[in-house]
């Protein structure tokens, strides 16, 4: 029918993107804790959820972007290299 909005997939229409960004940000933040305070089992689960159905390079990109957001004073190219991403994304 013309004039009707397209049905949204999920709640926002981009749920997978929002969840991926949130999980990447949470994982990077948890990695900053002292090892004895890191919830390693939960962090492993977050890694599995991030990797589910995604290319490893896409996961690395999400993690690098999350770290750039959490550490805006750090050189982004340094962060991207840390995650194995070349200069083409910096």
Question: How distant, in Å, are the alpha carbons of 3, 33, 45, 47, 72 from that of 79?
Answer: 45, 18, 23, 18, 10
* Confidence at residue 10, expressed as pLDDT on a 0 to 100 scale: 87
Q: Do residues 25 and 63 touch, judged by C-beta distance below 8 A? A: no
* Higher pLDDT, residue 86 or 50: 50
* Higher pLDDT, residue 37 or 10: 37
Q: Do residues 27 and 50 touch, judged by C-beta distance below 8 A? A: yes
* Confidence at residue 69, expressed as pLDDT on a 0 to 100 scale: 97
* Confidence at residue 87, expressed as pLDDT on a 0 to 100 scale: 55
pLDDT in tens, 26-84: 999 999 999 999 999 999 999 999 999 999 999 999 999 999 999 999 999 999 999 99
């Amino acid at each position: 029918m013309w004039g009707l909005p397209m049905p949204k997939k999920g709640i926002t229409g981009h749920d997978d993107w929002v969840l991926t960004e949130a999980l990447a940000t949470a994982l990077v933040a948890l990695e900053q804790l002292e090892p004895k305070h890191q919830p390693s089992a939960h962090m492993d689960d977050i890694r599995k959820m991030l990797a589910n159905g995604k290319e490893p390079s896409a996961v690395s990109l999400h993690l690098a972007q999350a770290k750039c957001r959490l550490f805006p004073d750090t050189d982004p190219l340094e962060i991207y290299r840390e995650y194995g991403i070349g200069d083409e994304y910096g």
